[in-house]
């Protein structure tokens, strides 16, 4: 089954064709990131305008790569079995572009439409490599807007274990990077500075900033205290070593995540551990998660997405659609900027 996936929840415009949920035939992505670098952050209206500009070229690019000898029309008509689209969470203007495009294609070519939750879909980046996860699985989704720790019993039954009570992990990276005047996007910039410091000081102990809620007996996390501590530090100190402070910040965020994942591995017997979301591109997080998982006696299998599938892309949307098969009548498909990971069942109804 070939699914055409469309992702436009934020500043990436992405279209992919994925076969049977696991084989990416092509994923074309355009980003308006450079535009947001000039403003130091995303202005939703600007992101939405770029979605409109990129949507059709990206769609054409994806289809022509997979079906080089067919016209646009023929390739959809003959080869595509269903259209998958991100309905939320995300920026309403950006989401609308993808959702309306999907609805038009579905209507014109009489194809079924599958509605996908963007945060749920991030996890499916782990189904796009050679080996696929088995259930039950413990999943940590860490993106710019979400930080969720979830127990997956199967593709549609979830148990929410915990998550951030305030800022998301990616947001913490971005906000702290801004406090250090590092360029947008903050997460990759801060992590680059941090890793430069770590290369020079591989055995240094990094304990300057708080690991939010690490002593609380729950699976929840908190990152707003870190942001405040960094803001105070930056105002107080006359001279700042940006690379060293970046390493301190990165370590505080990574540790706060790892502490709760390690606690969940001890509580629940799982066969797979899944990492996903934009922050899963972070090398330090990957390295420390590998250690934490390998230290556990039952040695669950750790899945981490290829970095190309870590940040927003349509391949994960098409993969998720294949496994959840959440078909909806076209007239009921609409964007929902506030969808949460646990709204999966609600989306099904
Ligand atoms: O999943 P994603 O692409 O978009 C959302 O759904 O939010 O995640 C974007 C987030 C941003 O906060 C970005 O700074 C962060 O992922 N990010 C990173 C790295 N690459 C992206 N954070 C830390 N280290 C990285 N290497
Ligand atoms: Zn995302």
Cβ of residue 223 lying under 6 Å from some atom of ligand 1: no
Q: How far apart are CA 131 and CA 305, in angstroms?
A: 11
Going from the first residue of the chain to its last (349 residues), give the mean pLDDT of each consecutive group of 10, the final group possibly shorter.
Answer: 97 97 98 84 92 98 98 97 97 98 98 96 96 96 94 94 95 96 93 97 94 92 96 95 98 97 95 97 97 91 95 97 95 92 56
Cβ of residue 11 lying under 6 Å from some atom of ligand 1: no
Closest CA to 211 of 202, 229, 223: 223
Cβ of residue 300 lying under 6 Å from some atom of ligand 1: no
Q: Which atom of ligand 1 is nearest to the CA of 169?
A: 12
The ligand placed nearest to the CA atom of residue 42 is: 1
Cβ of residue 305 lying under 6 Å from some atom of ligand 1: no
Site to probe by mutation for ligand 1, drawn from 40, 192, 279 as the one with most ligand atoms within 8 Å of Cβ, is 279
Name the token pair of 40: 């130091």
Cβ of residue 286 lying under 6 Å from some atom of ligand 1: no
C-alpha neighbours within 13 Å on the C-beta side of residue 97? 28
Residue 35 confidence (pLDDT) = 85
Cβ of residue 278 lying under 6 Å from some atom of ligand 1: yes
> Whats the size of the chain, residue-wise?
349
Cβ of residue 89 lying under 6 Å from some atom of ligand 1: no
Q: How far does the centroid of ligand 2 lie from the alpha carbon of residue 260, in Å?
A: 21
DSSP label at residue 213: T
Q: How far apart are CA 285 and CA 277, in angstroms?
A: 12
Q: How far does the centroid of ligand 1 lie from the alpha carbon of residue 69, in Å?
A: 36
**Helix or strand holding residue 328 (H, E):** none
Q: How far does the centroid of ligand 1 lie from the alpha carbon of residue 177, in Å?
A: 12
Task: With beta carbons less than 8 A apart as the criterion, state whether 211 and 222 touch.
Answer: no
Q: Which residues contact 304 (CB under 8 A, 6 or more apart)?
A: 126, 275, 280, 286, 289
Q: How far apart are CA 336 and CA 343, in angstroms?
A: 11
The tens digit of pLDDT for each residue in 111-124 reads 999 999 999 999 99
Q: Is 188 left (phi over 0), alpha (psi -120 to 50) or beta?
A: alpha
The tens digit of pLDDT for each residue in 52-107 reads 999 999 999 999 999 999 999 999 999 999 999 999 999 999 999 999 999 999 99
């Amino acid at each position: 089954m070939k699914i055409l996936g469309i992702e436009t929840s934020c500043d990436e415009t992405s279209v992919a064709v994925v076969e049977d949920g696991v084989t990416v035939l092509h994923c074309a992505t355009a980003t308006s990131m450079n535009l947001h670098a000039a403003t130091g952050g995303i202005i939703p209206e600007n992101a939405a305008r770029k979605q409109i500009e990129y949507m059709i070229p990206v769609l054409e690019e994806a289809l022509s790569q997979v079906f080089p000898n067919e016209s646009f029309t023929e390739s959809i008509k003959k080869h595509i079995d269903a259209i998958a689209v991100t309905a939320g969470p995300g920026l309403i203007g950006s989401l609308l572009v993808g959702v309306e495009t999907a609805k038009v294609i579905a209507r014109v070519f009489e194809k079924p439409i599958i509605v996908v939750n963007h945060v749920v879909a991030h996890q499916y980046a782990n189904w796009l490599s050679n080996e696929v996860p088995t259930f039950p699985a413990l999943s940590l989704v860490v993106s710019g807007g979400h930080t969720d720790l979830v127990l997956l019993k199967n593709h549609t039954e979830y148990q929410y274990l915990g998550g951030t009570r305030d800022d998301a992990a990616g947001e913490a990276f971005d906000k702290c990077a801004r406090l250090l005047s590092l360029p947008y996007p903050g997460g990759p910039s801060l992590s680059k500075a941090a890793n430069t410091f770590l290369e020079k000081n591989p055995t240094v102990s990094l304990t300057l900033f708080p690991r939010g809620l690490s002593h609380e007996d729950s699976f929840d996390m908190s990152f707003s205290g870190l942001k405040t501590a960094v803001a105070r530090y930056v105002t107080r100190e006359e001279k700042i070593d940006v690379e060293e402070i970046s390493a301190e910040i990165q370590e505080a965020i990574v540790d706060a995540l790892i502490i709760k994942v390690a606690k969940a591995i001890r509580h629940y017997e799982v066969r797979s551990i899944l990492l996903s979301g934009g922050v899963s591109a972070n090398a330090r997080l990957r390295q420390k998660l590998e250690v934490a998982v390998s230290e556990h006696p039952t040695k669950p299998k750790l899945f981490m997405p290829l970095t190309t599938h870590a940040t927003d892309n349509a391949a994960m949307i098409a993969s998720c659609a294949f496994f959840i098969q959440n078909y909806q009548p076209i007239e009921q498909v609409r964007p929902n900027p506030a969808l949460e990971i646990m709204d999966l069942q609600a989306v099904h109804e």
